[in-house]
Structures are given as structure tokens and as C-alpha cells.
Structure 1
Amino acid sequence: MPLYYVLAFAIGVLLPLQTAINSNLRAQLGDSVLLATMVSFGVGALTMALLALCSGERPGLQALSQLQWWQFSGGLLGAAIVAGSILLAPRIGLAGMTALVVGGQLCASLLFDRYGFLGLAERALTTPRVLGMLLVLAGILLVNYGDRLRA
């Protein structure tokens, strides 16, 4: 189980790296957020296609026709997230953007956990979890506005 926590932390380390790379890509592509997002997702789609082919997971393709319409929205949401990060990182900085993204993720995740959203396991909204969220929200304020406190 601790390995899963390390993996989650590593993903957190990779997200601002991905955003920095994609922001650089945007600059190289004539400041086009949409083109940079398309290139990023194109490379990602090709990578995943190759991995799926090499892994032998092809039988799962038959289930595609049985999916609900909303189960395809993850890709749409992913594109919006990547495009948004490409747009925002140069304007508000990686740390400020990441803090806000993590805060949004945490608030939504606590609600999704509480109600077992989309069939996920229900997890109680306990006092320590709410306090943790409040500390993260305080951190967001400090990361984004802390320098203004020095007077």
C-alpha cells in the first residue's frame, strides 16, 4: 500500500513538469494553446495505443460499444485540463496554478468520496479530513498571496 502513496506523490511531481513542457511547446507553436494541447494529446494517444497493443489488452476493445456516453468524457475533461494549464501557467505561475488545482481537486474529491460518486467507494467526511482541506486552502492563499503579506 505505501507504494501507492509514493506513486501518487510522483504523479504530483510530474504534473507541473508536464505543464512546463506544454507551456514551452505553446510558445514554440506561435502561442497556440489549442495546437499545443493537440500535440500533447496526440503524443499521449499514440503512446497509449502502442502500450495497449504491446500489452495484449486488445480484447477490451470489444466493450467500447457498450460504454455510456459520459464514460467518454474523461478525454474531453483531460483536454480541458491540459489546455487550461497551458493557458494559466505562464500567467499565474506553476506554483500558484498547482496550488489552486490541488485545492480544487481536494474539495471535489472530498465530496465525491463522501457520496461515492460514479460508483467509487464512499468515505466519510470526517473532521480531520475537513481540517486538512482547510489547511490546503490556507496554503493556496499563502502560495498565491503570501508575498503581499510582507509590508
Structure 2
Amino acid sequence: MQLMYFLLATAIGLVVPLQAAINNHLRLLIGGSTVLAALLSFGVGTIALTIAALVTGQRWAGLANLSQASAWQLGGGILGAFFVFGSTLIAPRIGVAAMISLIIAGQVCASLLFDRFGILGMPLRAIGGWRLLGALLVIVGVALVNFGDKLPRG
């Protein structure tokens, strides 16, 4: 089962650049509005998730507890909108590879902190030397993706 989660995570990573490119084309089609392109993307995603919830028989009654949610618990939607808006805005300006490499570096660094301190109830996980080395290699990779073509050849 663990392998399936690793494959799903990889698949998600594979489609992020595709999403940025698609949303950029949508932005151009509708007159250049990044906000409206992100809104349309979220609208289509909402429809897709509604269909998935219906098809898989999700228990809608659980939504009755929504009134007990704190504002921060609903913040994931805002963060998702920020991601879609930001990637639609940034990809055509700095390139998909540069954007994705920076996003991944930010994710790795923040994730290590979430693991180390159990932020928002995430399971505690130690940050050892190998994990720090992995994060450092990601940062080196970001530098190479973004500035490697400016290094002297030879």
C-alpha cells in the first residue's frame, strides 16, 4: 500500500507543471486575467470533486459539523487558491522548471519543520543528517535549474 502512495505523490508532482501550463493557456484565452483563470480552474475542480463525492458515496451529513470549524481549518482552500493563482502568474514569467524547483524547495524546507515540530498535529519525525543532506541537495538542484546555464563551461 505504501508504494501506491509514493506513486500517487509522484503522479501529483508530474501533473503540477501541466496544470500551470493549462491554466496559463486559459488565462490567455479569457483576456489575461490570472485571477479569473484560477477561479475557473477551481470551479472545474469543485465540479470534479462533487462528482467524485457522489460516485464514491461520501457521507454528506458530516458537513453539518462545518459550523464547528475554526477559520484556520478552512484555510486550505485559500492556500490552494494561492497556489493555483501563483503558479498561473509565475510559470509564464520565470518558466515552469524554475517555478517548480522553487516550489519543491519551499515544500521540502517547510515539510522538515512540520515533521520536526509536529505542526498542526502532524506526526513527529526526526530530522537527521541524511534528511538535511537531502534538503541541501534539493536547494543545490534549485540553484542549478535556475542558474546552471550561467555557470562557466569547461
TM range (shorter): over 0.9
Identity score, percent: 52
The 2-side partners of 1:60 and 1:24 are apart by 37
The SS at the match of 1:121 is coil
Whether 1:19 and 2:20 are equivalent positions in the alignment is yes
- Identify the range of structure 1 (44-53 vs 88-97) with the bigger mean alpha-carbon deviation: 44-53
* Cα root mean square deviation, aligned: 1.0
Aligned match of 1:105 in 99, 104, 107? Answer: 107
Question: 2:119 matched to 1:121?
Answer: no
CA distance in 2, matches of 1:124, 1:54: 39
User: Which structure 1 segments of 5+ residues have no match?
Assistant: none
| TM-score, length basis structure 2 | 0.94
Q: Which structure 2 residues correspond to residues 2-151 of structure 1 after superposition, within 5 A?
A: 2-57=3-58, 58-150=60-152
| Structure 2: unaligned runs, 5 residues or longer | none
- Output one character per residue of 1:20-52: Cα deviation in whole Å (capped at 9) or x when no partner: 100111111111100100100011111112222
Q: Deviation digits for residues 46-99 of structure 1, max 9, x if unmatched?
A: 111222223222122122122111011000011011100001000110000000
Q: In structure 1, how many angstroms separate the alpha carbons of the residues matched to 2:55 and 2:14? A: 27
Query: So what's the TM-score if we normalise by structure 1?
Result: 0.96
Q: Which letter maps to 1:15?
A: V
Query: How many residues are aligned here?
Result: 151
Distance in 2 of aligned mates of 1:6 and 1:50: 24
